[in-house]
Amino acid sequence: MNTTNEAAPDGDWMIEATDLVKRYGTFEALNGMTLRVGRGEIFGFLGPNGAGKTTTIRILTGLLQPTSGRARIGGHDLATDPLAARAIMSFIPDTPYLYEKLTAREYIHFVAGLYKTPPDIAARRMEELLEVFELADRADDLIEGYSHGMRQKTVMIAALVHDPQVLFLDEPTVGLDPRSAKLMRDVYRQLAARGATIFLSTHILEIAERMCDRIGIVQNGKLIALGTMDELRRLAAQNTSLEDIFLELTGGAAFAEIARVLA
């Protein structure tokens, strides 16, 4: 397994998780998750359902306290200096629960206020992003009337307005139409090129393969593989596509089983 990284020099890790353990009763959702992501990197997080992806992300964003282990964002320890850590990051969850009775503009200004973004800068960025995501003419409607994709875009815009250095995305493209999904991929790449670190979990292997600098594969609360596409290919010698690698590493036999059950 490869846990070293050539993308970032030592000391410039934006995301550091050390030995994260999360227990629910006796069940270990995470047992010893360790990973580091450097500045400007796009990191893909793969794994079967229930592997612990959301749990890891929720711990790294400060939404969940780990049972043990340490997490640092941009050098700020989440346990001792959570506010500094949160100030430089954004989180886009898999199910975007939003205030139903706010409009998109109000919501985005609200988030900008939480992050102390100067109002004029926030307003300018917001209007630009609303245009880009084609949400501008609905932005004064209450969110309760929005479709799933429109909500996703609203969260996305709010997350970008304060110019985060670290971006966590849990299954970011669920519910987006192909055009918007493509748009969002372009936005991530742009952000990464400007030095932002992006940590995304996804089930769409194509996104991971095409976008991510490095990929980590989790199973049963542990990293079972980590590296660039090339490194992963070497790891699973005979396979070429990420799907094959994924299935081999996580036990693809289950799929034959599914076919048998459904038949």
Partner 1 sequence: MSAATGDAAVPPGSAPRPPRPSRPAQPAFGWLVRSRWWIAWNTITRGARWRRLTYAIVLGGLVVIGAAAAVMGGFATWFLRDFTARDLTPEQIALGIDARAATDVILATSLSGAMLLVVMVGFTVALASLYLARDLDMLLVSPVSRRAVFASKLLGGILPGFALVGILTVLPLIGHGIANDYGMAYWSALVVAMLLLPILPTAFGAVAVVLIVRRMPAHRLGEIVGLIVVAMTMAIVLLLGSANRLQETMNFREILDYLGRVRHPYSPAEWLTRFVAAAGRHDVRTALTWLLINVGVSIAALVPLYLVSDRLYQDGWIRMQSANLRKSIRRGILWWQRPERAADLGRPSGVLAWLSPPVVAVVRKDARLLPRDLTNSAQILSPLAFGVFFIVQQILYPLRIGGGDSGTAFTQPVLTMFAAFVASGVAAMVFSRVALTGLSVEGKHFWIIQSSPISPRQLVLAKFVVALLPYGVLSGALIVLFEGARLIRTAVDAQLSLTAALGLVDVPILLYAWFVSIVVGAGVVAVSLAIGTARPNLKWDSPHEMMTPDVGCLSIIFYGLYAVIALFALAVPGAISRFPTLEHVWLYWLAGLTIGLGTTAAVVGGSLWLAAHEVPHIDG
Ligand X SMILES: Nc1ncnc2c1ncn2[C@@H]1O[C@H](COP(=O)(O)OP(=O)(O)OP(=O)(O)O)[C@@H](O)[C@H]1O
Chain residues that interact with Mg ion, rule: CB under 5 A? 54
C-alpha closest to that of 175 among 196, 151, 195: 151
61 near ligand X, judged by CB under 6 A? no
Helix/strand/coil for 4: coil
- Binding test (CB under 6 A) with ligand X, winner from 17, 46, 51, 242: 51
Give me the least distance between CB of 234 and Mg ion, in Å please: 28
Q: Which H or E run contains 201?
A: strand 197-201
Minimum CB distance to partner 1 smaller for 17 or for 111: 111
Burial profile 119-145: b = 16 or more Cβ within 10 angstroms, e = fewer = eeebbebbeebbeebebbebbeeebee
Minimum CB distance to partner 1 smaller for 69 or for 96: 96
Q: What is the pattern of x (binds ligand X, CB under 6 A) and - over residues 19-38? A: -----x--x-x---------
- Binding test (CB under 6 A) with ligand X, winner from 47, 66, 74, 164: 47
Strand order of the β-sheet with 76-77 is: 27-38, 13-24, 68-73, 76-77
Residue 165 has what DSSP assignment? S
CA distances from 47 to 80, 188, 248 (A): 30, 21, 12
Task: Residue 52: name its binding partner from ligand X, Mg ion, partner 1, none (Cβ under 5 to 8 Å by kind).
Answer: ligand X
Number of residues near ligand X (by CB under 6 A): 11
Contact at 8 Å (CB) between 18 and 35? no
Minimum CB distance to ligand X smaller for 33 or for 198: 33
Minimum CB distance to partner 1 smaller for 174 or for 224: 174
In terms of C-beta density within 10 A (0-12 exposed, 13-18 middle, 19 or more buried), how is residue 44 classed?
Answer: buried
- Which residues bind to partner 1, rule: CB under 8 A? 49, 61-65, 82-84, 86-87, 89-91, 93-95, 97-103, 105-106, 109-117, 119, 122-123, 138, 140-142, 144-145, 147-148, 171, 174-175, 203-204
Minimum CB distance to ligand X smaller for 78 or for 217: 217
